[in-house]
Amino acid sequence: MNLPIPIFIAASVIKSVIVLFVLLTAIAYSVWLERKVVGRIQNRWGPSRVGPFGLLQPLADGLKFIFKEDLTPPHVYRPLFLAAPMIAMIFALTSISVIPFGNSITVGGYSIPLQITDVNIGLLLILGITSMGVYGVALAGWSSNNKYSLLGGLRASAQMVSYEIALGLSLVGVLIQSGSFSLRTIVDQQGGHFAGFIPRWNFFHGQFIGFFVYLIAAFAETNRIPFDLPEAEGELGAGYHTEYSAMKFAAFFMAEYANMITVGCLATLLFFGGWHGPLFGPPLMQALLPVFWFTVKVVCFIFLYIWVRGTLPRLRYDQLMSFGWKFLLPLAIANLVATAIAVVW
């Protein structure tokens, strides 16, 4: 049934606070996980001094950023220099608002969806919001009045344009099969099994090439190794955020990890069945298990991000652009055509 307006507003506020708290905590401990995993891969010590297993390291990092001296160089264009990290952070956090992370729950006879807001064009909204995030990077590079920062901002803009096309086309196959832009509808259509035991996920339903294209394009979109050319330390110092310090730098840092989490959530929803998984136990456990399965799948994608970072070297810029236009884009178009033919057939 439809929720009364006061209950709807109260539920939205509570869900927003909970999701924001969980997302910020996940960002902090994604950094901890990355240090631990990369330390193992590269035979280095991860954070192991602050708290048991280094679990208090994110808190120490946060305090360091808060109390660090906040410098603004005199040669920058101050209004945009200050606005750029806020733009990057706001768009990174806003995109999580339309992500469904579980089924509905019943409270007091009312059905409340586990999602801040459910819109029937959720996928388009996420793509639009995440695309706007590059403005923060581009403006940071330009407003810093620094050649290295400007090159980093230009690289980020060119990289986003190049790989955004392949990323969008990789998702069209899923849309053709589901016939909806609603993320909840796409997940609902992935319930059940083929042949009694194969999950009816889009990855197993002809979209494994689409997932491959999406994954690589998402790595490039979030500026992660091997596609972290906008902030290549060996070439540009730190790229677009060379002139930033303290909490302004932390805002870019948090935006990158928030985008990683959003990419993992989208991959889970579109290709791996969302919150679908085995249900067992008492009713309360069956109500919480979908959220657990969704979280496990997202964590697997975060681990994949970290694994790739600790394994692959950075590409040259000409290799990055050539790969996006000459390989990834044709592959995404071929997957789109093949999916359309299969659906019509």
The whole-angstrom separation of Cα 83 and Cα 136 is: 8
Residue type, 328: L
Classify 181 as helix, strand or coil: coil
Between CA 189 and CA 200 the distance in angstroms is 8
Residue 120 confidence (pLDDT): 83
Strand partners, 113: 104
The confidence score (pLDDT) of residue 1 equals: 46
Could you tell me the pTM of the whole model? 0.87
Confidence of residue 140 (pLDDT cuts 50, 70, 90): confident
Burial category of 3 from C-beta neighbours within 10 Å (exposed 0-12, middle 13-18, buried 19 and up): middle
What's the pLDDT at 236? 63
For the segment 81-102, the average pLDDT, to the nearest whole number, is 86
How does pLDDT run across 263-316, given as a tens digit for each residue? 899 999 998 888 887 877 677 777 778 888 889 999 999 998 888 888 888 888
- Listed in sequence order, the residues at least 6 apart from 319 whose beta carbon sits closer than 8 Å to its beta carbon are none
Q: What percent of the chain has pLDDT over 70?
A: 95
Kindly report the length of the chain.
345
| Residue 49 host element (H or E) | none
For residues 210 and 309, the answer to whether their CB atoms sit within 8 Å is: no
* Average pLDDT, integer, range 249-264: 87
Beta bridge partners of 104: 113
pLDDT of residue 177: 85
Mean pLDDT of the chain: 83
Number of C-beta neighbours around residue 295 at 10 A? 18
What is the pLDDT at residue 181?
84
pLDDT at 330 exceeding the cut of 50? yes
Question: 315-322 long-range contacts, Cβ below 8 Å, gap at least 24?
Answer: 315/226, 315/227, 315/229, 317/155, 317/229, 320/159, 320/162, 320/220, 320/227, 320/229, 321/158, 321/159, 321/162
**pLDDT tens-digit readout, 13-52:** 888 888 888 888 888 888 888 888 888 888 877 666 777 8
DSSP 208-263: HHHHHHHHHHHHHHTT-TTS-GGG-HHHHTTGGGTT--HHHHHHHHHHHHHHHHHH
Map out the domains of the chain as residue ranges: 5-344
Indicate the DSSP class of residue 326: I
Residue 113 has pLDDT above 80, yes or no: no
> Which residues are within 8 A (CB) of 59 and not within 5 positions of it... i.e. 6 or more apart?
28, 50, 51
The tens digit of pLDDT for each residue in 141-192 reads 888 888 888 888 888 888 888 888 888 888 888 888 888 888 888 888 887 7
Q: Which residue is associated with the tokens 């990057």?
A: 88
The percentage of residues in the chain with a pLDDT greater than 90, rounded to a whole number, is 3
Q: Which is nearest to 126 in space by CA: 251, 252, 263, 22?
A: 263
Q: What is the pLDDT of residues 189-234, one digit of tens each?
A: 887 777 667 888 888 887 889 899 999 888 888 888 788 877 766 6
pLDDT given for residue 116 in this prediction: 82
Q: Which two tokens stand for residue 304?
A: 């994949």
Q: 230: which residues sit within 8 A by CB, 6+ positions away?
A: 137, 141, 152, 153, 155, 156, 159, 223, 236, 239, 240
Q: What is the mean pLDDT of residues 122-131?
A: 84
Cα–Cα distance, 160 to 140 (Å, whole number): 15
